[in-house]
Structure 1
Amino acid sequence: MTPQIRRQVLAAVALVLVAVLALVQSAGSVDEHRARARTADASPVDPVSPALERGRLFDGRMFVAYYGTVGTPVLGTLGEAAPWKAAARVEKAAAPFRRAGLPAQPVFELIVTIADRYAGADGDYNHDVPAVAVRRWMAAARQSGALLVLDVQPGRADFPSVARRWAWALKDPNVGLALDPEWRMHGSQVPGHTIGSTTGWEINLTSRWLQDFVVARHLPQKLFVVHQFRRDMIRGIDIVRDRPDLAEIQHVDGFGTPRQKYATYRAVARPDLFRMGFKLFYDEDTPMLSAQRVMRIRPRVDFVSFQ
């Protein structure tokens, strides 16, 4: 079985399990989730984490993230434990990545819009995690000194419209945004049946909205992560714009042997446009690279996540 087919099989299984979990956890529809978000929007903004008080995010340290979604390990390690336990686990995982005399910065990358294999009431093939659950992760990140990145899988919706659904959470200075083009469908495509894609133009639309959002609310610089493991996942990547109030990361997600991972990284990496990210898979990597080997990768990696 090739890595691509294996990824699609794993994705299809994950989507089924997550969809079942969503039906149990959420009291129903996407509309209800959005109503909760609108209610949450009226609450006060949380204070700035000490991680952001210095200004620019890229100051030499490594950002180390646990990736996943609420209440299930199917889509990543973040769902294996409650927020407070996950904070301790990511802190431990980050410790070996100390660099430039600085401790590594823990991050939660939480999938908050999850692509579905079924259209749903609004036909966009995605559903949102309930706002109350996201608030628990926001509180855990703030109290543990971590940052939180909201990962969106838009299905047949577009990235800017899905990102705007999370404006209430992005008001928090400690919260950033991640785009996952693998789950951006077009035409009749269905999540889990095909590997999706986006364009440099759509990334720019999303980053411009987030940049304007940060400036209008006098927020500190935010993490802005774009996932990729194949060149054709981002068409027209050369036009991606630099946004001074966003710390922009191209996160390379290939799994397999070290040789396969390095080959994917070299084929995809665009350090002229982004700072670089790299993903480590507990189960799919054979073997998983050590912190020391990750820190020797060139172009240099500034953001590493575990799944």
Structure 2
Amino acid sequence: MHVTRTIPALFAATALLISGCSDSEGGIADSLGGGKSLETNGDEVIQDTDGTGVEVSKRLFDKADTVVVSGKERDQQLKAAAVAVKLGAPMLTRHDGADAAVDAEVERLGASRVINVPGEEEEVDAVASAEPAGDAAAIASLEPGSPSELAMPPMFATALSSRASVATARAAGADVQVLAAPDPRATQESMRTVTEQDTLALGRQFGSNENFQARAALADNGELPGGGGLVFPGRRMVALYGHPYGPDLGVMGEQDPAAAVELAKKYATDYQPFDDQPVVPAFEIIATVASGGPGDDGNFSNETPMEDLVPYVDAIVDAGGYAVIDLQPGQGSFLEQAKLYEELLKRPNVGLALDAEWKLNPGEAPLSRVGSATSGEVNEVADWLATLVRENNLPQKALVVHQFNAAMFPDRENIVTGQPELAWVLHADGHGDPQQKFETWDVLRQGLDPNFFMAWKNFFDEDFPTFSPEQTYRDVHPRPWFVSYQ
């Protein structure tokens, strides 16, 4: 359970609801003396829904002699951010339709000086940022010139956080960590931060307080290869696909586990020059294989004994990689088959893949059609896997869904995603020439839940030609997070 922490706990009883700006006189900080901290009551999201920064200003400042008010243009906001951080003043932005909210906050703060940008602003160099995606990080790196006398809790932001929110937090003296994803498990540093004290998150992309707190509660569950506790972002993966029994089902089984690991590491190394994030080697191991006959259990799927998978799982994990257990259930159940490999899935670096191509209804013959699965079948696996993660204190786990046409998941829109325990991956299995593969890719992305990360498969025999690492990362848009080879 994620417990409430205060900074320091000694001052929780003072019930400080809001802080004072350091240039204020006679404010809360002054009346109580130095060494006080902003009151917190668990991890909290400051939504800042309109991007004006008003909510952040209200949370961090009880009053301020100076307020910096920016126009809506990016260059104006970057200039205003530099001024606000230098002066220790809150920053507000006049977006369309937000004048009343901004004016009301200026009045609440009791400011005797309003610096308008553009206008007669201070002589301060604007924040230097080449691309808008880097603005939050650039502002967070500024040194506050007159921070609040109240100690501020650490704060998280992303590229989507408003410039005003980050500038106001930094002006107050808060340490602002800009993350690649709105989740406190994004980096080793953010995981450590959120487990040691309460934190504030800037922006509605972090979701509700409940959502943010649920993710924070998982931050002490260990890291994944490449750092941090999220499957994606933070790393990409390049995987060999196959079965331990031999080469007929994919490249992974063409050699023993040690040799397969070396090959996977080579592929990952080949991709690394084209990406700033770590590229992690992986195996996608077929655990249950669709069959032409019913077998002893009548489900047209052969379940590989877990002990035959263990050498490959051990090998890739010991090499700092990731393993994905792939299910081809025939007439069987995804959930029943997943439970056969529960002990493997209890490992922190092992995910699960559902291959609907080989999912048949009762009475259907193998290869009579491309298989399909309902959202209900996927959701029950997701619920079980998320519970497994929580109950075993595991880092986030990949749940991969294979698809190459719309009919494989006829009600895909009803798949429930967003669980903090899971990283959802849509694996595009299309093969052929580049035009065919891109057409499949584009079709699969239509109407796709934004919680899915995209994955791409390169085929050695069915692609014409097989993409090189450079082509895969250069020509496939968006760039896939997971690339497998079959």
TM-score scaled by length of structure 1: 0.81
2-structure distance, mates of 1:50, 1:186: 37
Deviation at 1:54, TM superposition (A): 1.7
- Correspondent of 1:287 among 458, 465, 472: 465
CA contact (8 A) 1:52 1:220 kept: no
- Give 1:69's aligned residue: 243
- Give 2:285's aligned residue: 110
Answer with 56-65 or 241-250: which moved more. 56-65
Q: Once the two structures are superposed, what CA deviation does each residue of 1:180-206 show, in whole Å capped at 9, x if it has no partner? A: 000000132122332100012211111
- Correspondent of 2:232 among 58, 61, 72: 58
Call closer, same or farther: CA 1:51–1:246 in 2, change over 3 Å: same
CA contact (8 A) 2:406 2:444 kept: yes
Corresponding letter in the other structure for 1:261: K
- Correspondent of 1:258 among 428, 434, 440: 434
CA contact (8 A) 1:231 1:268 kept: yes
Q: Once the two structures are superposed, what CA deviation does each residue of 1:14-69 show, in whole Å capped at 9, x if it has no partner? A: xxxxxxxxxxxxxxxxxxxxxxxxxxxxxxxxx97750752112134321110010
2-structure distance, mates of 1:153, 1:299: 27
- Percent sequence identity is 36
Q: Once the two structures are superposed, what CA deviation does each residue of 1:59-104 show, in whole Å capped at 9, x if it has no partner? A: 3432111001012111111110101100000111112322542331
Query: How many residues get paired?
Result: 261
Answer with 277-286 or 122-131: which moved more. 122-131
Answer with 78-87 or 269-278: which moved more. 269-278
The answer on 1:211 being equivalent to 2:376 is no
CA contact (8 A) 1:271 1:299 kept: no
- Give 2:265's aligned residue: 91
- Give 1:275's aligned residue: 453
The answer on 1:142 being equivalent to 2:317 is yes
Corresponding letter in the other structure for 1:220: P
Corresponding letter in the other structure for 2:471: R
- Give 2:344's aligned residue: 169
CA contact (8 A) 2:224 2:395 kept: no
Corresponding letter in the other structure for 1:279: K
1-structure distance, mates of 2:222, 2:294: 38
- Give 1:240's aligned residue: 415
- Give 1:199's aligned residue: 374
Task: Determine helix, strand or coil for the equivalent of 2:324.
Answer: strand
2-structure distance, mates of 1:71, 1:157: 21
1-structure distance, mates of 2:227, 2:468: 30
CA contact (8 A) 1:63 1:104 kept: yes
The answer for unaligned runs of 5 or more in structure 1 is 1-46
- Give 1:298's aligned residue: 477
CA contact (8 A) 1:60 1:100 kept: no
CA contact (8 A) 1:67 1:77 kept: yes
Corresponding letter in the other structure for 1:182: E
Deviation at 1:300, TM superposition (A): 3.0
Q: Which has the larger radius of gyration?
A: 2
The answer on 1:185 being equivalent to 2:357 is no
CA contact (8 A) 1:49 1:142 kept: no
1-structure distance, mates of 2:363, 2:373: 15
1-structure distance, mates of 2:396, 2:390: 9
The answer on 1:78 being equivalent to 2:252 is yes
1-structure distance, mates of 2:226, 2:404: 29
Corresponding letter in the other structure for 2:247: P
The ranges of structure 1 where at least 4 consecutive aligned residues each deviate by more than 3 angstroms after the TM superposition are 47-50
Task: Determine helix, strand or coil for the equivalent of 2:286.
Answer: strand
CA contact (8 A) 1:181 1:196 kept: yes
CA contact (8 A) 1:155 1:190 kept: no
Task: Determine helix, strand or coil for the equivalent of 1:264.
Answer: helix
Answer with 192-201 or 99-108: which moved more. 99-108
- Correspondent of 2:406 among 223, 228, 231: 231
Corresponding letter in the other structure for 1:64: V
Corresponding letter in the other structure for 1:114: V
2-structure distance, mates of 1:169, 1:191: 28
C-alpha RMSD over aligned residues: 1.7
CA contact (8 A) 2:300 2:330 kept: yes
2-structure distance, mates of 1:135, 1:256: 33
2-structure distance, mates of 1:300, 1:200: 26
The answer for unaligned runs of 5 or more in structure 2 is 1-220
Corresponding letter in the other structure for 1:134: L
Task: Determine helix, strand or coil for the equivalent of 1:250.
Answer: strand
Corresponding letter in the other structure for 1:61: R
Answer with 225-234 or 240-249: which moved more. 240-249
Answer with 119-128 or 246-255: which moved more. 119-128
2-structure distance, mates of 1:184, 1:198: 6
Corresponding letter in the other structure for 2:291: D
Call closer, same or farther: CA 1:97–1:60 in 2, change over 3 Å: farther
CA contact (8 A) 2:287 2:327 kept: yes
1-structure distance, mates of 2:399, 2:247: 24
CA contact (8 A) 1:110 1:151 kept: yes
